[in-house]
Amino acid sequence: MRNDGCTRLPVAVAQFTVARKPERNLEIIDGFAGEAAAQGARLLVLPEGLIARDGDDDAFAAAHAQPMDGSFVSGLITISTKHNIALMGTVHIAPAEGSADARVSNVFLTIRDGEIVAAYRKLHLYDAFSAKESAVVKPGETLPPIIDIDGWRVGVMTCYDVRFPEIARSLAVRGADAIVVAAAWGRGPLKEYHWKLMTAARAVENTCYVLACSEVSSRNIGCSRIISPLGEVLAEADDSTAELIAANLDRNALESVRRTLPVLHNRRFADPQLQ
């Protein structure tokens, strides 16, 4: 599906309530993938924790982790192939048999051309606002990757990662044109404000497009959005309903912003660990 001459990249973001049953979630994703593909999208962004979720049980998603070669990930590969569209989102992956650490991994998958082309394990675990993700999830150890989608370089982050600007900056200085955030962003005082502020900030400070997808439920805010390199909201979902939003990423607009606002070129200090 690669097209290195692509000036515009049609993208879509699907926010929905992750169900308790993995089979139901595959049905939902298949529906959104078909709708996105019909609109010409080449990339569909999905929320965090796609296999199973219960809004009243923090540990439910981790408790329903599957192996990487299990039925859920196989189902995602089938959906991506069927609709000829790249998929991005996170799944909880069970530890290898006999592992000394019984915690699962929260893995951001990119599926393209019928295969898993990248798997990023969440670096920053949500040990904040009285939550303790690290009790059931082990952190990753490496910076998130950048993936080619039709000649566009797309970096990835997972939920709480967005509060750490050095991660987005690392992606930008390594050449990302866009950054995808898959999340299950919890409701609470100022939480919606934080989500909107930080997703826009990551776009502006790095002159990147940002595609941010949060699960929507009684527990999580939704408010998925696609943001331009100057912080303009190109498409946005609400805080209460399942919805598909879409936009075109424009190469000419991106390059124009980076000529006018060359922050990546003008920065004077760099952390070699983030290169």
Q: Which sequence positions are flagged as catalytic?
A: 48, 122, 159
E strand or H helix that includes residue 78: helix 71-83
> What percentage of the chain's residues is helix, strand, coil (to nearest 5)?
30, 30, 40
Q: Which of 251, 255, 252, 273 is nearest to 265 (CA)?
A: 255
Neighbours of 267 (CB within 10 A): 11
Helix (H) or strand (E) holding 89: strand 86-93
CA-to-CA distance for 229 and 220, rounded, in angstroms?
26
Contacts of 212 (CB under 8 A, 6+ apart): 13, 162, 180, 181, 183, 195, 199, 224, 225, 226, 227
